[in-house]
Chain A
């Protein structure tokens, strides 16, 4: 089944303790992205990657890091989490290139992160 897999689904952590949220896709998509969702704000992009070793900042990158060493994986790293990073996080992927019927992103199931 074509999908984007995020882990964990739920995570409670303490301020300052480094954590990684993993994201993997099995569709050979070039483009991958991280979003955070907060009540009343919709979804906002954190970082994105056009391909292996190519990453760039989105609208809200402060406090986050990413890496893209392999095409299928795009982990989100919080080096020193703070309570204002408590949010619902989504990973998404999309094919590049000129293909018919572009359907936008495929989203993962989300990771609910709480930083206390």
Chain B
């Protein structure tokens, strides 16, 4: 069974600084999907960024980028120019193939400090 590990339960960063959230996963699959979701205090689950394992290029969405290391089974999220609105719980998630269960990590609570 696949597992997802987020080793940092809580992190904090100064506004405008850069922070990296770590995620590792365990799978024997070769092709799969990886996601980062943001959950602000409103509880909404918001997709931040996604990566398809067959693509070697790291995904980027504005201030958010990932460092995908397939051999190491690592999928870290980098947030540049952190903003107060980035304060949230962040979940890393793995999906074996389309429309199969998302396997979530336990989350990292990020606080952006003014």
Contact = CB atoms under 8 A, between A and B. Distances in A.
Contacts of A92: 45, 102
A96 B99 CA distance: 7
B87 to A, nearest CB: 18
B96 interface: no
Contacts of B99: 30-31, 50, 94, 96
Contact of B102 (A43, A102, A110): A43
Interface stretch (B13-21, B72-80, B104-112): B104-112
B33 interface: yes
A104 B47 contact: yes
A42 B44 contact: no
Contacts of A42: 4, 91, 104-107
B64 to A, nearest CB: 14
Given A104-B47, A107-B44, A109-B44, A45 B106 contact: no
Interface of B: 4, 33, 35, 42-45, 47, 50, 52, 91, 93, 95, 98-99, 101-102, 104-107
Instruction: Enumerate the 5 nearest inter-chain pairs by beta-carbon distance, A residue then B residue, closest first.
Output: A107-B45, A42-B104, A31-B99, A110-B43, A43-B104
Given A96-B99, A104-B102, 9 more contacts: A35-B102, A42-B106, A92-B102, A103-B50, A104-B35, A104-B50, A104-B93, A105-B102, A107-B44
9 contacts: A42-B4, A42-B91, A43-B91, A45-B101, A92-B102, A102-B33, A102-B52, A103-B50, A109-B44
